[in-house]
Amino acid sequence: MHTDVSPKDKFVTVYGRKPVLEALHDYDLRVDKVVIAEGLRGPAVTEIKEAAGDRAVKVQRASAHRVKVLAGNGRHDQGVLADVVARRMRPLQDALSDPATAPRTVLLLDGITTPGNVGMILRTATAAGIDGVVVPHRGVATLDPLVIKASAGVAFHAPVLRCTTAGDAAELLSDAGYPLYALDAKGRRDLYSAELGPRSVFVLGSETAGLSGDVRARIGEDVSIPMCGGVESLNVASAAAVVCFELQRRINTIG
């Protein structure tokens, strides 16, 4: 049974005049609507309205406060935003509802608040063919223009799975029978020798705080990435890339 899908689980909201105009000019993207603050005028706004008109995208007016609330950013929205349809974004619960089509390989982001890291992880995971990247609404960087830029636009097309918190996601995935793995330099087995099985979830945590307590409680095994040259760890986005392409290698090997 499918859940009622929130707009936050269907759209990536971009804000600021230049990002909105870029989205309207990208015909590979489907823009659902543009919202402009009441009373906002000027050449940039006219250009946005004309670009929206060329694509038959509806333009709505709202109070400046409402635009800030919708954008989730009080300093950089510039009074304009656009909701872009993310075709592969869906609630995690929906993705798990049918075991026959449920994702095999999943990344779960926990406490990663740097937009650049989230964007790079989405880009790498999509390139490696990962089935789903869980980006919780809370505790992780919002899918905003900074994340989109870091992903080089891939965030619009990434297989994003949404839920409220990383803890909620860990519970859903664990209850659905997925083993959860975490990266740890002290892990008993390394990534290349660990037995992962046909379905697996890799949890990527904050580089400073690590995993949240409710997620840590559901980790089945810690695995390590072998390091040389006295290097102790990798940036989380770099570590994610290693995991993604190792998972891809295993799938290709199995065929």
pLDDT in tens, 14-36: 999 999 999 999 999 999 999 99
pLDDT band at 1 (very low <50, low <70, confident <90, very high): very low
| Residues 35 and 111 placed together within one structural domain of the fold | no
Tens of pLDDT along 81-103?
Answer: 999 999 999 999 999 999 999 99
- pLDDT value at residue 185: 82
Is 1 domain-assigned? no
Residue 255 has pLDDT above 60, yes or no: no
d(CA 62, CA 230): 55
- pLDDT value at residue 229: 92
| Residues 183 and 76 placed together within one structural domain of the fold | no
Residue 188 has pLDDT above 90, yes or no: no
Q: Which of 182, 249, 255 is nearest to 215 (CA)?
A: 182
| Residues 96 and 220 placed together within one structural domain of the fold | yes
Contact 231, 199 (CB under 8 A): no
Question: By three-state DSSP, how is residue 196 classified?
Answer: coil
Residue 149 has pLDDT above 50, yes or no: yes
Percent of the chain with pLDDT over 70: 97
Percent of the chain with pLDDT over 90: 83
> Mean pLDDT, to the nearest integer, of 184-198?
88
H or E stretch including 19? helix 17-25
| Residues 250 and 139 placed together within one structural domain of the fold | yes
pLDDT band at 48 (very low <50, low <70, confident <90, very high): very high
- pLDDT value at residue 32: 96
Range of the domain at 79: 7-85
| Residues 185 and 120 placed together within one structural domain of the fold | yes
Across the beta sheet with 11-15, the strand order is: 11-15, 80-85, 31-37, 58-62
| Residues 13 and 123 placed together within one structural domain of the fold | no
| Residues 156 and 214 placed together within one structural domain of the fold | yes
- pLDDT value at residue 62: 96
Residue 3 has pLDDT above 70, yes or no: no
- pLDDT value at residue 80: 96
| Residues 70 and 147 placed together within one structural domain of the fold | no
**The domain that contains 61 carries what CATH number?**
3.30.1330.30
pLDDT band at 74 (very low <50, low <70, confident <90, very high): low
Is 217 domain-assigned? yes
**The domain that contains 213 carries what CATH number?**
3.40.1280.10
Residue 57 has pLDDT above 90, yes or no: yes
Q: Which tokens hold the place of 237? A: 């986005």
The mean pLDDT value of the chain amounts to 93
Ramachandran angles phi, psi of 33, nearest 5°? -165, 160
